[in-house]
Every structure is written in C-alpha cells, then in structure tokens.
Amino acid sequence: MTPIRAIGLSKRFRKVRALEDLELEVPQGAVYALVGANGAGKTTAIKTLMNIHAPSAGRAEVLGRDSRRLGPAEFARIGYVSENQQMPEWMRVGDYLDFCRPFYPRWDAGALVHQFQLPLDRKLGQLSRGMRMKAALVSSLAYGPELIVLDEPFTGLDALVRDELIEGLLERIEGAAVLISSHDLAEVETFASHAGYLENGRLRFSEEMDSLGARFREVTVTLGAAQSAEWPAEWLNPEWSGPVVRFVDSRYESERTAERLRAMFADIREIEAEAMPLRAIFVALAKAARPGGARE
Amino acid sequence: MRLVLHLVWKDARRLRLAIAGVAGLTFLAIGVGRVPEWVGMAAPVAWMLLAAMAVEGDSLANDRAWWLTRPYGRGTLLISKLVFVAVFVQLPVLGAEMWALNRAGWPPGSSWAGLAVHQLNVGCYAVLPAMAIASVARRAWLWVAGVVVVVLPAAAVAGSESSPPVSWVQMVWTAVVLVGASAAVLGWSYATRRLPAGRVMVAGGAVALMAGWHWLTPPRVYAALETKDFQRIQLKIEEGLVDVGVRSAYLPLTRSAEGQKENEAALIEYFDAEVASERDDGPPVRLRPMPGLAARGLLVAPPEMALRWGDHPLRVRLRAGIAVYRIEEEESVRRLRVGRCRELPMPRGNPTQLPIECVTPFARYEQGGGRGALYLRRVNAPWPGAGSLEVLPRTVLIAAKGEPPPLRRLEPAGFVWRTVELRGVRMVKGGGK
C-alpha cells in the first residue's frame, strides 16, 4: 500500500487555481520533500490530501483510503503538524498531551517530552515558536504514526531548535512515510529521500534525491571569445560574463552536455560542471520560473 | 460516549469562566426576578454566546484548526456540543426556573409541562440557531450578523405582545423553521464541512421565517368602549377580512372596590363578554361574568369562568393563567396580558407572591408584592384540549373617543369558537358601577 497517492488532484479557490493535476506518490518508508516558492501550492496540496480541503478535481488515496473519506481510523495513524496550525493555546502542555492520549491506543509521549524538554505546566499560548512546534511534534509522534505529514515545520526556527526537531523526527520515523514541505532546503536535503518541486500549483518534477542530484549541474563554460547561440530550454538561467557563460543544466549527462556545447560553440577552452545542493536547484528553478527567466 | 464526555470536559475547562457567568446571569434573570430589564434581555444573548463559543472552539470554518486531523469524528464532535449546551445552558435555565417556582410557592413538579416548554423555547429560539450560525461563520462578526438577521427578530416576534398579535401559527412556524433550519445546517456542516451550502441554508431559513410571518399574520382584533361611561367594551376585528358579522360584542367591566390605592384592600373585578355571531355553522358566544379578586394590585381570578356559545353551555377548559396587570402611562388605563393558560395549583402562602410567567425566549419570572399578576383558576374541563381559552388577551382593547364606530361585518377568526382573544383592558377611574 502506498501511503500517499494523488491522481490528477486539483484545487481551486473560486477563480484561483491553487493546485493543478497533482500526480504524487509517497512510497512506504520514504521521506518526501515537497518544495516550491511561496504560493506554489504546497500547503494546499497537503491540506487537500489531509481532507481539510475538498479537492475540486482528481482524487487522492491516503493510507489506502480516498482522501475525502479520511476519518478517525485513518487519523489515528497519521501525524500532522503544520506551521500555521492553531493550537489550543489555553491548554497547558501537559493537559494537551493528556487530552490527546485517549484517542491513540499506542500513546507514549514520555520519552519525547524528555527529549524535547517540554515544560508541561506552561500554557501552549505562552510558549516560544520553537517550543510550540516541539509540542505539536510530540503530540503527533507519540503514537507511532504510519504517515507523518509536516507542513513547513521549520519555518522561523533557529538552527538549534531545527536540529533538535529533525533529530527527534528521524529517531521515530522508522518504517513510516513522511511528507514534508519546507523552505529549509538545506535541512531537508540531509534526510529527504525524495523531492517534488511545485510551481504555480503544478508539480514540475518528482523524483528521488539521488537522481535529482545527478541530473542538476551548474556548468561553467569558458570560450575563446564571446559568442551567441540558440539556448536549449533545459539549460536554465544563463549568465554571460565576457567569454564565460554559466548556466544550470537540468538534464546533465557529462558526455551529452559536452557534445552539445561543442556543437553550439566553436572555441571552447574549458567546461566545468559542479554538483548542486537542493537549495541551489530550488533557487535556479524559482528564478527560471519568473517572467523572462529560462526554464526547464 | 466516553469520547463525547472527554470533549465536553475539554470545552467545559476552556469556557469555565463563561459558564460561571452565564449560570450567574441565568439565576439572576430568572431566579431572582426583580432585576433591571437588561439583565433579562442579556440572559438569552449569553446563552447564545456560550453555545456559539462551544462550537467555535472546534471550528469547522477554520482550516487551521488543530482538531481537524485528530481522530475523532465530526458526528462525535456535534454530539459533544449538544451535550455541552444541554448541561451548561439548558440545565441552569431549568434549575433557575424550578428554584423560582419553588420560592414562589409553586411546586416545580406540578409545572413540568411549562418547564419543558421553556426548555424547548430556549433550545428552539436561542441555542440551536446560535450553534448553527456559529458552525458556518468564519468570523465573530459574521456570527453576530447572522444572529441579528435571523434569531433576534424571530425571538422578538415570538416574544412580542404588541400589535399585530403573533398567532400560534406564526409561533409554530417560527419554531419549526428555526429548529428545522438549525438542525439542517448543523447536520450538513458537521457531516460535510461544506460551509457555503450551510450558509445558503441559514439564508434560506431567514427568508422562510420572514415569508411565514408575512403570510401568517392573523387579522387584528380590536375592541372599543361602547359607551361614554366606559362600562361596556366592544370587540371588533380588523375590517376588510369579514365574512361573518358580530352582532353585539361587548365586555362590560364593573368594579366593586376602590382599587389600587388601597394596598391591602381586596378588589373584585368582573369581566363579562358576550359575542354573538350570525354565522350559521356556529353558535353565538357569550362570556359569563368573571369575578376577579385583587389584593395589592394582584388580581386573582376568577373562581368561575365559562364560555358560552349562545345557549350552548360550552364551558371552556380554563385552567390557570397568569397575567400581567399593568398600569400604563395613562393612569386610567390598565392592560391585561396573559402569558399562559395552563394547569397550575393555587399558590401556597401569600397569593400576592405570584410570579408572572411568559413563554417567550425572553421569559422571566417576576415577583415581589404580586403586582401585576392575574391568576385564573381551573374550572371545568369538558373536553381535552379546550384549555386554550385564550381569554388571554390577544385583542387590543382601546378606549373609545366619542361614539364608537358602527360595527360592520367582522371576521371572527381571532376568537372563533373556543378562542376569545383579548389583549388588554382599558378602564377609566370611576367607570364602574
């Protein structure tokens, strides 16, 4: 059973197309990072998958059940944390965890509370942002969910808290599928196994991190003299500096790229190709998506 | 059920201050009685607010609400909200009313039907609509707007005793629409979370209410003093709607004591009405004298009362009624308003401590000195269901200026057969025998 599968999932808010034809699959045991610029549709996608919003078209299956029919039985197996989730701020942390406990047969928050050093006697509304996220994460991991869905969990957190959250998360996701949307690409890159890139509501790519890292390269070509040429669509964001041109090749293959460059430019002195971190890939794609930018 | 109680307990903890405030206000408004009028008006608003706050705590409209991905069903959640309002709104109202009744010398056990009606009224006119609107309102001001548009006018009309009178048909219509629409909105919203459709239902309910009030408004019934010495009062019904004439309708008033100035004096007042109909399919109507006993301005009446249709001694099952007997701005004018006619035992102890009962969402018990109460004791009960002798004043009795207008063919719908509706009685000092 695939924990999450979306087929042509679309969501409109009146005339705004927030999500279009999303085809997404999060395999069992995968940590899937959903990345994209602000307003790309990440939160909409997650809320539609979680049955918080009804889809306008298409469908999705979550834990083998139609997302529109997700009920208590499924939510008992899902841990959901969102950056903009409104918590019951009037509750003390301990009361909140006590409130959640009866809903889950496998509840065990003790170790997590200790690990995150949660102040049980303080109200959620009085906690710092980092502590609130920790409390939310504890309440969503304490029952060993099969599917963990995290919507921008690291936004606005300092590096120390981020590290603690990631550490705590990684210790408890064994066997579970994780869908995480995040701007903190450097952090996500360290533990994500899959990545998907959303742009204007459309999923531009979705693949394993290894293959993603392999196909994106920042290429620097030094020519004998400045030249012009017709530019392939998959070579993103070309920047000329005299006889030197830099671009991002989104379908990099060493031999093939070199061959195409030689066919385009008569006097090539040097070709350098550097691997790119996820953040650089994301920035390159985001820049290319802007009006006038070269895109894949 | 354990889950429901778990959720109720959570709401109770969150709203504990509001619960205490509403309970205090309820006992103040209903149980204590003599409080400023705004307290009586504030109590239903507080009930609605508390019900709405309970719903809003686990908002359906807020897509950031933390509970949306927790494993409890929306059906369970709805039940928990209903249990919450039953425990923290309805129960305090019931307790306050029972306490007030008991304090006034009325055994609450004998008034269970009236108490149940009050519970229904609180639920129909205040709690359910407030919950339904809260379930589809994304923001607080939308809830306020919804309440202002739907609930308050309905409650005001239902509680209105002014002209035009509100017929029982309108009352029933209001209750049915409010309950039906509220149940539909709540059921739909909690089942589907498709709130735009729920909002359409709220708007539909408001339109249905207004349409019902418009189409179901009964003909107005008037009465006027027949002669200059104000010994006789004529009844007449709104012109233009007539198909049957009232030949002679009058309601002579006599007084046998000095009246209100004498605080301790007993005052006997007699009411008599005779309404004759030319209608072929129904006998004429005559009201026999209805003596009333008043002390300290309290009117306890009448030991005997009967409604006659001509020679047909159709005794109306007048059971018990409590009326407001109020001195209007003009000292010579008194107005009788009967809140309800129902079977109640005679009060124990001092009859001047009678409470006044109304069956509107703004109901409250008033007491102290017994001013302004009329007690109508049960007489005969010839057939079941005849208890609606609504000598209950639905008719506005107005003082004649000069000669009364000639009677025309009048619509007896306001007091046909078993119902005579009188809204008030005007008397002029010294006008009696």
pLDDT digits (tens, 9 = 90+) for B257-290: 223 333 222 333 333 333 333 333 333 333 333 3
pLDDT reported for residue A34: 92
Nearest CA-CA distance, residue A287 and chain B, Å: 30
Per mean pLDDT, which range of A23-32, A72-81, A281-290 is the poorest?
A281-290
Per mean pLDDT, which range of A30-34, B148-152, B319-323 is the poorest?
B319-323
Percent of chain A beyond pLDDT 90? 43
Asked whether the beta carbons of residue B70 and residue A86 sit closer than 8 angstroms, the reply is no
Q: Does A67 touch chain B (CB under 8 A)?
A: no
Per mean pLDDT, which range of B34-38, B51-55, B97-101, B284-288 is the poorest?
B284-288
pLDDT reported for residue A67: 93
Nearest CA-CA distance, residue B370 and chain A, Å: 47
| pLDDT confidence bin for B217, thresholds 50/70/90 | low
Measuring CA to CA, how many Å separate A7 from each of A3, A55, A56? 13, 11, 12
Better-predicted residue by pLDDT, A248 or B429? A248
DSSP letter string, B368-386: STTTTEEEE------STTT
Nearest CA-CA distance, residue B72 and chain A, Å: 5
Q: Is A96's pLDDT higher than 90? A: yes
Q: Is B54's pLDDT higher than 90? A: yes
Nearest CA-CA distance, residue A246 and chain B, Å: 43
**Class of domain A216-289 (CATH, top level):** alpha beta
Measuring CA to CA, how many Å separate B11 from each of A100, B6, B53, B151, B194? 14, 9, 9, 24, 24
CATH topology for A4-209 is: Rossmann fold (3.40.50)
Three-class DSSP labels, B140-171: HHHHHHHHHHHHHHHHHHHHCCCCCCCCHHHH
- Average pLDDT of the residues of chain A: 88
pLDDT reported for residue B327: 33
Closest CA to B374 of B329, B429, B321: B321
Closest CA to B404 of B277, B220, B285, B229: B229
User: What does the pLDDT average to over B382-386?
Assistant: 26
Asked whether the beta carbons of residue B73 and residue A104 sit closer than 8 angstroms, the reply is no
Q: What are residue B273's phi and psi, to 5 degrees? A: -140, 145
H or E element, residue B324: strand B321-327
Per mean pLDDT, which range of A174-178, A250-254, B93-97, B243-247 is the poorest?
B243-247
E strand intervals along A124-267: 147-151, 177-181, 194-199, 202-208, 217-223, 235-241, 244-249
Nearest CA in chain B to A75: B71
Residue type, A186: A
Asked whether the beta carbons of residue B71 and residue A53 sit closer than 8 angstroms, the reply is no
Asked whether the beta carbons of residue A73 and residue B10 sit closer than 8 angstroms, the reply is no
Domain range annotation of chain A: 4-209, 216-289
Neighbour tally for B367: CB within 10 Å? 20
When scoring A69, A86, A124, A148 by the number of chain B Cβ atoms within 10 A, the one with the most, hence best to mutate, is A86
Q: What are residue A223's phi and psi, to 5 degrees? A: -105, 165
State pLDDT tens for residues A97-155. 999 999 998 898 888 898 888 999 999 999 988 889 899 999 999 999 999 999 988 88
Asked whether the beta carbons of residue B14 and residue A50 sit closer than 8 angstroms, the reply is no
State pLDDT tens for residues B324-359. 333 333 333 333 333 333 333 333 443 333 333 332
Out of A79-83, B50-54, B174-178, the most confident range is: B50-54
When scoring B59, B64, B194 by the number of chain A Cβ atoms within 10 A, the one with the most, hence best to mutate, is B64
- Average pLDDT of the residues of chain B: 58
State the pTM of this model: 0.68
State pLDDT tens for residues B57-101. 998 888 888 899 999 889 999 999 999 999 999 999 999 888 877
Better-predicted residue by pLDDT, A188 or B231? A188
Q: Does A293 touch chain B (CB under 8 A)?
A: no
Q: How far apart are CA B13 and CA B139, in angstroms?
A: 23
Nearest CA in chain B to A69: B192
Asked whether the beta carbons of residue B71 and residue A104 sit closer than 8 angstroms, the reply is yes
Closest CA to A196 of A45, A40, A33, A37: A33
Q: Is A230's pLDDT higher than 70? A: yes
Distant-in-sequence, close-in-space partners of B16: CB < 8 Å, separation ≥ 6: none
Nearest CA-CA distance, residue A27 and chain B, Å: 21
Nearest by CB to residue B70, choosing from A47, A54, A103, is A103
Neighbour tally for A253: CB within 10 Å? 13
DSSP letter assigned to residue B184: H
Distant-in-sequence, close-in-space partners of B345: CB < 8 Å, separation ≥ 6: B106, B107, B110
The answer, yes or no, to whether ipTM is higher than 0.95 is no
Q: Is B195's pLDDT higher than 60? A: yes
Which chain B residues contact residue A90 at CB under 8 A? Answer: 14
Residues of B with CB under 8 A from a CB of A: 2-3, 6, 10, 13-14, 62-66, 68-73, 76, 193-194
Asked whether the beta carbons of residue A90 and residue B14 sit closer than 8 angstroms, the reply is yes
Q: How far apart are CA B177 and CA B151, in angstroms?
A: 11
Q: How far apart are CA B174 and CA B12, in angstroms?
A: 31
Nearest by CB to residue A78, choosing from B3, B13, B69, is B69
| pLDDT confidence bin for B7, thresholds 50/70/90 | very high
Q: Is B45's pLDDT higher than 70? A: yes
Rg (alpha carbons) of chain B, rounded to whole number: 24
E strand intervals along B219-284: 221-225, 233-237, 246-250, 253-255, 266-277
Nearest by CB to residue A86, choosing from B13, B66, B194, is B66
By DSSP bridging, strand A244-249 and strand A235-241 are antiparallel
Q: Does A105 touch chain B (CB under 8 A)?
A: no
Out of A129-133, A229-233, B399-403, the most confident range is: A129-133
Q: How far apart are CA B236 and CA B409, in angstroms?
A: 9
Per mean pLDDT, which range of A238-242, B380-384, B422-426 is the poorest?
B380-384
Closest CA to B60 of B201, B195, B197: B195
CA A160 to chain centre: 20
Q: How far apart are CA B19 and CA B14, in angstroms?
A: 9
| pLDDT confidence bin for A226, thresholds 50/70/90 | low
pLDDT reported for residue B274: 34
Q: For chain A, report the end-to-end CA distance as a whole number of angstroms.
A: 33
